[in-house]
Structure 1
Amino acid sequence: AGLKSDIASVSNEVALVRKDMEINKMELNSQLIKITSKLESSSKLHYWMFGTVITLFVGTLLTLIPIVYSILNK
């Protein structure tokens, strides 16, 4: 009788550990989803910032070229 109860308690502990692992896996998955969505939104923000900087740079360059050209042609 002692061996059967030991086996039963061990199988109960194994079941508890499995449930614990499943819960941990679900928590990790939700944390990963949160992190990836944060990264995606920040990368979109960076694309927007780089686009703005490049646009301003190109606009300034296109404005300066004729000014420099007219100064050099005098």
Structure 2
Amino acid sequence: ELDNKIDKVRDELKSDLTSVSNEVALIRKDMEINKMEFKSTLKLHNWMFGTIITLNVGIFLTLISIVYSLLNK
């Protein structure tokens, strides 16, 4: 009878271990998905900031040339 109880507990522990390992695998997949989304968000933000900086530099250079041409008249 003791052997049956030991086998029962062993089987329960094995099933618990498999369920825990499945949950860990799901969490790892979620973390990978979140990491990929974060990388794509960073790329989008870098593109937006690069565009804004480029436009600002162009406007600034245009204004400098306009002011320079007005002062030389």
| TM more than 0.5 | yes
CA distance in structure 1 between the aligned counterparts of 2:71 and 2:46, rounded to whole angstroms: 37
TM-score by length of 1: 0.90
Counterpart residue type for residue 26 of structure 1: A
Give the TM-score normalised by the residue count of structure 2: 0.91
Cα distance in 2, alignment partners of residues 57 and 66 from structure 1: 14
> Quick one: distance in 1 between partners of 2:70 and 2:5?
95
What's the counterpart of residue 57 of structure 2?
A: 58
Q: 1:73: Cα distance to partner? A: 3.6
Give the 4+ runs in structure 1 shifted more than 3 A: none
* TM alignment of 1:1-74, pairs within 5 A: 1=1, 3-74=2-73
- CA offsets 1:13-54 (integer angstroms, 9 cap, x no match): 110110001100110111111111111111100010000000
What amino acid is the match of 2:5? D
Unaligned runs of 5+ in 2: none
**In 1, Cα distance between equivalents of 2:67 and 2:5:** 90
For structure 1, the residue ranges without an aligned partner over 5 or more in a row are none
User: How far is 1:61 from its partner?
Assistant: 0.6
Q: RMSD between aligned alpha carbons?
A: 1.1
Letter in 2 for 1:27: L
